[in-house]
Amino acid sequence: MKTNKDIQSTIDKTLQAFDTIETVEVSPFFKDKVMQRLFLEKEEPETVRFWFAPKMQLATLICVLILNSLVLAKLQKTDYKEDVSQFAESFELSTDNDTSTLSFP
């Protein structure tokens, strides 16, 4: 069983434990890791933004919207019947001017 004197001696030794602590060297790749984190990682999104910046994104969106509305307007103008008859004529499916060789009196 430890006496109070022993305990005090252990405490003193514990408090002195840090006096012999040795310097720990930082890992040799630490600098490279930090430099990479500071610069390379920050450059990557920049290159992405370079060709597809917010301005470009907005311009692309406007172009798509204009093209869509133009196509929609053109579709509304076109007459459906006209298209169908044109189609039928071109494939000789029309019944209007029948050119059958069998003629009935």
Q: Please give the residues from 53 up to 82 whose contact with another protein meets the rule CB under 8 A.
A: none
Among 27, 78, 95, 103, interactor with another protein by CB under 8 A: 27
Say whether residue 44 binds another protein (CB under 8 A).
Answer: no
- Distance separating alpha carbons of residues 50 and 29, to the nearest angstrom: 31
Name the DSSP class of 38. Answer: I
Choice between 19 and 79, CB closer to another protein: 19
Distances, alpha carbon 77 to alpha carbons 13, 49, 68, 70, 84, in Å: 96, 40, 14, 11, 15
Choice between 41 and 82, CB closer to another protein: 41
Q: Where are the alpha helices (DSSP H) in the chain?
A: 4-15, 30-35, 41-51, 54-77, 80-90
Say whether residue 1 binds another protein (CB under 8 A).
Answer: yes
**Contacts with another protein, residue ranges (CB under 8 A):** 1-2, 7, 10-11, 13-15, 17-18, 20-27, 30-31, 33-35, 37-39
